[in-house]
């Protein structure tokens, strides 16, 4: 495989964070322990553990966690011999207080996430994470909503605050392979830190897009085993690793062990198959934040409307990540409009 970076590729398994959406934030300590232990045994580089919306995300807006995420982070750290435990922090939701607590419990990497145009809200969190000695990466979400030049401008801000890598985060799973390439290339040419890519599989492009990103020089790549992430999940980790292996890239992660973990541990945990259904397809098609899917389905049932109509309307309104309250609002509005029509 030809790559435009000679740095090693590092994989972050996100099923214990992004997958938290699918699990309705009901992960038990036992589940987290088992998944973390087996990932560690397979040689996974980083394992992200947090509420789906990052530290402090346990809310009525996003869903309350069954078990305090700090307890889950502590449990994952306890199970890992070699894998590092990562956390996600979205400024506006979590604060540096939760970050410090996670760090004390042994989390050693943080991704500080903002909407793709709002990087300047991350300055205090990135610099605090660096002060704590954590590996600190920036996460520019909903990357499909801004052109490459804007992405470059925002990534430079994160770099200036001390971020050691910046991700192109395709939160809606809306980017097409050539758009991924453009964005990764633009970042590679303009910042001196590493570039990462986080995919969602809503258009069935997560693995293809991750490969495109790697070819263009991305070295930080996210995956979720069995696609256990919001919407249709992320790049399916065990598939991505197998494909990379076929292309001659060995990341030191045991593929058989990952397959077994997917089959025997994660598979039985998942409430429903992580296939691309009409809801997740619409996420990618309309460019909507992937964690909106289950909220939109619930709101659709409550108000008796098609959840696709809700998602399309949210896409039109250019709603950003974290605006889950808009789902109920839009659903109630659509229902009212329908009644008027009748």
Partner 1 sequence: MAKIKAAIIGSGNIGTDLMYKLERSEVIELTAMIGIDPESDGLKRAKERGYLAFDNGIQALMDNPDIADIVFDATSAKTHVRHAKVLAEMGKLAIDLTPAARGPFVSPAVKTDTYLDEKNLNMITCGGQATIPIVHAINSAADVSYAEIVATISSKSAGPGTRANIDEFTLTTRRGIEEVGGADQGKALIILNPAEPPILMRDTIYCEVKNMDEASITKSIEQMVETVKQYVPGYRLKQEPLFDGNKVTVFIEVEGAGDYFPIYAGNLDIMTAAATRVAEDFAVHMLEKQSVESKG
Distance CA 70, CA 81 (A): 19
CA distances from 63 to 172, 248, 269, 294, 325 (A): 19, 42, 19, 11, 11
Task: Find the shortest distance in angstroms from Cβ 322 to partner 1.
Answer: 5
Count the Cβ atoms, other than its own, within 10 Å of residue 212: 23
Helix (H, G, I), strand (E, B), or coil: what is residue 139?
strand
**Which two three-digit tokens encode residue 322?**
């974290």
Q: 99 or 241, CB closer to partner 1?
A: 99
* Minimum CB–partner distance for residue 307 and partner 1 (Å): 17
Residue among 7 and 318 whose Cβ is closer to partner 1: 318
User: Tell me, what DSSP letter sits at residue 222?
Assistant: E
Shortest Cβ distance from residue 122 to partner 1 (Å)?
9
- Looking at residue 9, the DSSP 8-state letter turns out to be P
Structure tokens at 83: 């894998």
Q: Pick between residue 96 and residue 184 the one whose CB is nearest to partner 1.
A: 96
Query: By C-beta, is 154 or 201 nearer to partner 1?
Result: 154
Distant-in-sequence, close-in-space partners of 238: CB < 8 Å, separation ≥ 6:
225, 226, 255, 258, 259, 261, 262
Residue 134 · residue 109 · CB < 8 Å:
yes
Q: Which residues are tagged catalytic?
A: 21
Cβ-based nearer residue to partner 1, 160 or 245: 160
Q: Please state the closest distance from residue 121 (CB atom) to partner 1, in A.
A: 5
**Cα separations (Å) of 187 from 157, 214, 222, 240?**
12, 13, 17, 23
Which chain residues interact with partner 1 by CB under 8 A?
Answer: 59-61, 91-93, 95-97, 115, 117-118, 120-121, 123-125, 317-320, 322-323, 325-326, 328-329, 332-333
* Longest CA–CA separation in the chain, Å: 63
- List beta partners, residue 194: 165
């Amino acid at each position: 495989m030809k790559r435009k970076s000679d740095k090693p590729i590092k994989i972050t398994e996100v099923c214990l964070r992004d997958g938290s959406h699918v699990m309705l934030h009901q992960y038990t300590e036992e589940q987290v322990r088992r998944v973390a232990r087996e990932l560690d045994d397979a040689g996974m580089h980083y394992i992200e553990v947090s509420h789906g919306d990052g530290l402090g995300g346990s809310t009525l807006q996003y869903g309350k966690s069954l078990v305090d995420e700090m307890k889950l982070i502590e449990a994952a750290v306890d199970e890992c011999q070699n894998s590092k435990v990562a956390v996600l922090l979205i400024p506006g939701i979590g604060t540096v207080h939760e970050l410090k607590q996670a760090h004390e419990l042994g989390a050693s990497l943080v991704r500080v996430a903002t909407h793709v145009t709002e990087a300047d809200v991350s300055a205090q969190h990135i610099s605090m994470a660096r002060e704590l000695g954590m590996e600190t990466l920036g996460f520019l979400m909903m990357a499909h909503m801004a052109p490459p030049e804007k992405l470059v401008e925002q990534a430079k801000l994160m770099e200036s605050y001390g971020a050691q890598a910046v991700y192109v985060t395709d939160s809606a799973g809306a980017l097409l392979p050539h758009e991924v390439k453009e964005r990764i290339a633009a970042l590679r040419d303009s910042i001196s830190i590493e570039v990462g890519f986080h995919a969602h599989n809503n258009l069935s492009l997560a693995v293809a897009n991750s490969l495109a990103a790697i070819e263009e020089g991305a070295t930080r790549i996210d995956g979720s085993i069995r696609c256990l992430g919001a919407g249709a999940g992320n790049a399916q980790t065990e598939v991505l690793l197998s494909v990379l292996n076929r292309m001659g890239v060995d990341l030191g992660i045991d593929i058989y062990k990952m397959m077994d973990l997917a089959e025997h541990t994660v598979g039985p945990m998942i409430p429903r198959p992580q296939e691309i259904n009409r809801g997740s397809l619409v996420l990618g098609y309309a460019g909507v934040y992937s964690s909106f899917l289950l909220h939109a389905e619930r709101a659709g049932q409550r108000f008796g409307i098609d959840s696709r109509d809700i998602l399309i309307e949210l896409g039109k309104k250019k709603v950003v990540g974290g605006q889950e309250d808009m789902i109920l609002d839009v659903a109630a509005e659509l229902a009212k409009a329908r009644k008027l029509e009748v």
